[in-house]
């Protein structure tokens, strides 16, 4: 996610802004900039691609002495990382920093261009600067101009606005992206997150959705988008700066597990028509012809992303009704695969930099395949090697063990499957119903996350075991693999994920009273078979941790050692819910064991080597 900082007071704004942006670096970024109001209505903007050190070098030469300004670290979502796309975006009179996604920026941009505005970036944010400037040209003061501009936009935003004509204030606003205000003595602050301003004040005011703040040296005024005054008392923050970077969570991984509902909301946002329920292929990033013409789909990935690829395989076959197969990128790239122009390759990678996946894409390209990638980092190597890209908008994932990016990948692949069904007119697939269900999913996921203590207690009861088995059938098979990977990679306990139908072909020999077996058995068409697997495990004194849908499976509850339920949802979305208890169980076992949860031994967040 992008990072925003705002300052107004007696000190040099550029120094406060740069220091604040440095304390937001953990949020991930690819460019940065500041806008400072100087003497005589000057508005100076300095921005640089790359690390904050590049911006710092430019600032040391710029000699900005102004006391009012806004700063930004950019995590690119629209428009590749560059100086021109870096924030703040300025019209010369108005400068804006923004964290979020403006869904209707294309139509607003066209409207501004019709009114003579010229654009210098590919970003959605620049539209906002022009909208505000047009309102100022129409005679409005800064605050009414910002309110009028925000009335035009749809989407998520946390913004900071300064204007050369109004040097005594900063206007901020929030909708679905984080923004906090800090109250000082004769100075006031705004930031995306507490760490940026905690060294200056512990008195924080949190804006609600659709609220606007006006910062002056005397204080902070809050109002609704309609301009109605809002009273909001400050809260005193007791965290250290390090605690604040994790938003009070003990580890980044736990924070990211809890960020999943928002990561899914941001990934699906703007990619369906809420009226008709249609998938918006352009906004999703897919080419309709490629979806229509593909004779088969080959999904390539590594690690957790491979588990997402397996899920994608089921999605494509169930919804698009064409052959699909998931392959380990490291195997695909070395086995001289028989593929060609009729095969659509889908490369899945959170980082967009995994070497095996990138090399597999090159092998597929050489064979004439067309390439679609699913990635979380804009303009990374794998998207650059692809014909089309579906970006997940999960924000940077700091923990090495992937959690929010995994469920965001599943959400993207779910939309891809629905888009394929829509484009090919697949009979029997109700795309509108698929869309309505995924819109409800973040709320259901939040209800599972609220039960974290339940999974912590369970984790403590099983943390002493040395071997775990995870079983699943159909769409739960990728979840079984993912649950096992989460446990092994952060707790160093041996865990295997297996297709439950394989039990009698070997793994059943492992079952004894020291072997916890996680059985994924949601309400689906394979219930009787997976129930049989559960009974096989119990007959050999294995420990069964059953995971099923609410209101389902009561007949097996008595023979289970643990019985976990998740809310009912569309069968294709069950994996996005059932993985959450497995993430939390793995996390709490690792935390109890005291391993380095965010940086597990021997692992890197991105594997860019053979």
Residues acting as catalytic residues: 2, 605
CA–CA distance, 251 with 548 (Å, rounded to integer): 28
> Checking phi first, is residue 124 left (phi over 0); if not, alpha (psi -120 to 50) or beta?
alpha
Pick the closer one to ligand AGP by CB: 599 or 606: 606
| Helix spans in 218-354 (H) | 241-245, 252-258, 260-268, 281-284, 288-293, 303-315, 329-332
Minimum CB distance to ligand AGP, residue 354 (Å): 3
Beta bridge partners of 325: 298
Q: How far is the CB of 599 from ligand AGP (least distance, A)?
A: 11
8 Å CB contact between 12 and 22: no
112: Cβ–Cβ under 8 A, 6 or more apart, which residues? 119, 127, 130, 131, 134
Q: Which of residues 201 and 350 has its CB atom nearest to ligand AGP in the complex?
A: 350
Residues 6+ positions from 35 with CB-CB distance below 8 Å: 43, 44, 45, 69, 70, 71, 88, 90, 95, 97, 162
Taking each helix axis from N to C terminus, what angle separates 404-424 and 303-315, rounded to the nearest 10 degrees?
Answer: 30
Query: Cα 607 to chain center, whole Å?
Result: 20
CB of 222 to ligand AGP, least distance (A): 40
Helix (H) or strand (E) holding 89: strand 89-90
The first and second tokens of residue 588, run together, are 């709490």
- Closer CB to ligand AGP, 463 or 607, in the complex: 607
Closest-approach residue to ligand AGP (CB): 303
Smallest gap from Cβ 602 to ligand AGP, in A, equals 12
Nearer to ligand AGP among residue 44 and residue 266 (C-beta): 266
Cα separation, 381 vs 157, in Å, equals 28
User: What burial class does residue 57 get, using C-beta atoms within 10 Å of its C-beta: 0-12 exposed, 13-18 middle, 19+ buried?
Assistant: exposed
Q: What's the closest the beta carbon of residue 414 comes to ligand AGP, in angstroms?
A: 17
What share of residues in the chain are helix, strand, coil (percent, to 5)? 40, 20, 40
Binding site for ligand AGP (CB under 6 A): 302-305, 349-351, 354, 357, 400-402, 489, 606-607
For 44, 183, 213, 267, 368, the CA distances from 191, given in Å and listed in that order, are 20, 12, 12, 23, 48
Q: Could you tell me whether strands 170-175 and 211-215 are parallel, antiparallel, or unpaired per DSSP bridges? A: antiparallel
Closest CB 240 distance from ligand AGP, rounded Å? 28
Residue 328 Cβ vs ligand AGP, minimum distance, rounded to whole Å:
11
Residue 601 C-beta: closest distance to ligand AGP, Å: 13
Residue 302 or 560: the one with the smaller Cβ distance to ligand AGP is 302
Minimum CB distance to ligand AGP smaller for 370 or for 488: 488
Provide the 3-class DSSP secondary structure of residue 149: helix
Structure tokens at 10: 């007696």
Q: Which of residues 174 and 307 has its CB atom nearest to ligand AGP in the complex? A: 307
Q: Which is nearer to ligand AGP, 163 or 349 (CB)?
A: 349
Helices of type H across 63-165 = 105-114, 125-137, 142-150
β-partners of residue 89 are 96
User: Length of the chain, please?
Assistant: 610
Indicate the DSSP class of residue 236: E
Strands 203-206 and 180-183: antiparallel
């Amino acid at each position: 996610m992008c990072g925003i900082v705002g300052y107004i007071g007696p000190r040099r704004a550029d120094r406060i802004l740069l220091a604040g942006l440095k304390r937001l670096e953990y949020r991930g970024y690819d460019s940065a900039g500041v806008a400072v109001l100087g003497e005589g209505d000057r508005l100076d903007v300095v921005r640089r691609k790359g690390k904050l050190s590049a911006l710092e070098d430019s600032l040391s030469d710029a000699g900005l002495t102004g006391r009012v300004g806004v700063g930004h670290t950019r995590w690119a979502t629209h428009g590749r990382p560059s100086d021109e796309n870096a924030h703040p975006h300025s019209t010369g009179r108005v400068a804006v920093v923004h964290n979020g996604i403006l869904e209707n920026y294309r139509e607003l941009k066209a409207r501004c261009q019709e009114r003579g505005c010229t654009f210098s970036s590919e970003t959605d944010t620049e539209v906002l600067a022009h909208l505000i400037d047009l309102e100022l040209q129409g005679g409005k003061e800064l605050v009414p101009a910002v309110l009028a501009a925000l009335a035009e936009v749809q989407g998520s935003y946390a913004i900071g606005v300064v204007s050369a004509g109004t040097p005594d204030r900063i206007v901020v606003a929030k909708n679905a992206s984080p923004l906090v205000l800090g109250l000082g003595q004769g100075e006031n602050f705004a930031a995306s997150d507490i760490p940026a301003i905690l060294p200056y004040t512990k008195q924080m005011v949190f804006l609600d959705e659709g609220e606007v703040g006006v910062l002056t040296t005397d204080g902070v005024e809050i109002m609704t988008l309609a301009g109605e005054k809002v009273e909001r008392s400050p809260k005193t923050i007791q965290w250290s700066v390090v605690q604040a970077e994790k938003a009070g969570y003990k580890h980044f991984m736990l924070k990211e597990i809890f960020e999943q509902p928002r990561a899914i909301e941001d990934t699906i946002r703007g990619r369906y028509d809420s009226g008709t329920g249609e998938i918006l292929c352009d906004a999703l990033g897919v080419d309709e012809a490629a979806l229509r013409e593909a004779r088969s789909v080959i999904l390539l990935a590594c690690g957790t992303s491979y588990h997402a690829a397996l899920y994608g395989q089921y999605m494509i076959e169930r919804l698009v009704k064409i052959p699909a197969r998931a392959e380990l990128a490291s195997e695909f790239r070395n086995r001289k695969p028989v593929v060609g122009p009729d095969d659509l390759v889908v490369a899945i990678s959170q980082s967009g930099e995994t070497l095996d996946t990138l090399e597999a894409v090159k092998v597929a390209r050489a064979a004439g395949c067309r390439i679609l990638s699913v990635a979380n980092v804009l303009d990374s190597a794998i998207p650059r090697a692809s014909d089309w890209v579906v970006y997940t908008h999960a924000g940077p994932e700091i923990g090495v063990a992937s959690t929010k990016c995994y469920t965001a990948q599943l959400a993207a692949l779910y939309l891809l499957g629905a888009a394929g069904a829509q484009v090919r007119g697949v009979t029997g697939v109700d795309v509108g119903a698929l869309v309505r269900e995924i819109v409800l999913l973040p709320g259901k996921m939040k209800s599972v996350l609220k039960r974290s203590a339940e999974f912590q207690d369970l984790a403590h009861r099983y943390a002493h075991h040395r071997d775990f088995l995870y079983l699943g059938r159909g769409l739960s098979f990728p979840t079984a693999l993912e649950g096992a990977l989460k446990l092994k990679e952060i707790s160093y306990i041996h865990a295997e994920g297996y297709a439950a139908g394989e039990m009698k072909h070997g793994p059943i020999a492992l079952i004894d009273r020291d072997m916890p077996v996680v059985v994924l058995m949601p309400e689906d068409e394979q219930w009787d078979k997976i129930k049989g697997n559960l009974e096989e495990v119990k007959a050999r004194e294995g420990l069964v941790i059953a995971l099923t849908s609410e209101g389902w499976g009561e007949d097996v509850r008595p023979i289970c050692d643990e019985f976990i339920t998740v809310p009912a949802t569309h069968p294709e979305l069950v994996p996005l819910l059932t993985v959450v208890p497995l993430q939390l169980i793995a996390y709490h076992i690792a935390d109890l064991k005291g391993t380095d949860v965010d940086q597990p031994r021997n692992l890197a967040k991105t594997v860019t080597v053979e």
